[in-house]
């Protein structure tokens, strides 16, 4: 039986196909379409984490989710996720005065989405309780 491809991996593959076949006849929309696919993959990865770890988190804003993310996947991966979501959100929206992302930028973001998705997958395989948060003593 074939292994089912996750929604996250499916979105990443779609973005990869758009980036790889940049000469395809889809006009000049492929860079932003790729950015949208990568952003959707990132958001779906977080949705899967919250579904497993803390279903209530799925009801709060994505900004709030990104704020508590370090407790679940660590500071490095969470920091990368926050920066990535911000860059992809800005890039995905068309602005007349901003150039579309380059293939190199899209590949860098694709690799970053893969790293964050891997961090989420690793976390989902462990007991899903938040990491202890250190509180400063007075």
Residues contacting residue 34 through CB under 8 Å, at least 6 positions apart: 15, 18, 19, 101, 106, 110
76-127, pLDDT tens digit by residue? 999 999 999 999 999 888 778 888 888 899 999 999 999 999 999 998 877 6
Average pLDDT (22-46) is 83
CA pair distance 87, 109, nearest whole angstrom: 9
The pair of three-digit structure tokens given for residue 105, joined into one six-digit string: 């930028």
What mean pLDDT value characterizes the chain? 84
- Which has more confidence, 97 or 41? 41
How high is the pLDDT of residue 68? 95
The pair of three-digit structure tokens given for residue 60, joined into one six-digit string: 């709060």
How high is the pLDDT of residue 3? 45
Taking 70 as the threshold, does the pLDDT of residue 8 lie above it?
Answer: yes
């Amino acid at each position: 039986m074939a292994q089912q491809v996750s929604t996250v991996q499916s979105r990443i593959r779609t973005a990869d196909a758009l980036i790889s076949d940049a000469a395809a006849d889809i006009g000049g929309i492929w860079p932003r379409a790729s950015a949208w696919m990568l952003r959707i993959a990132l958001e779906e990865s977080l949705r899967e984490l919250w579904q497993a770890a803390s279903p209530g988190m799925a009801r709060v804003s994505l900004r709030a989710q990104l704020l508590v993310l370090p407790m679940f996947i660590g500071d490095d991966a969470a920091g990368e996720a926050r920066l990535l979501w911000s860059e992809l959100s800005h890039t995905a929206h068309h602005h007349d005065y901003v150039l579309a992302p380059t293939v190199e930028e899209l590949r860098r973001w694709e690799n970053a989405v893969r790293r964050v998705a891997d961090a989420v997958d690793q976390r989902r395989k462990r007991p899903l309780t938040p990491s202890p948060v250190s509180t400063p003593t007075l």
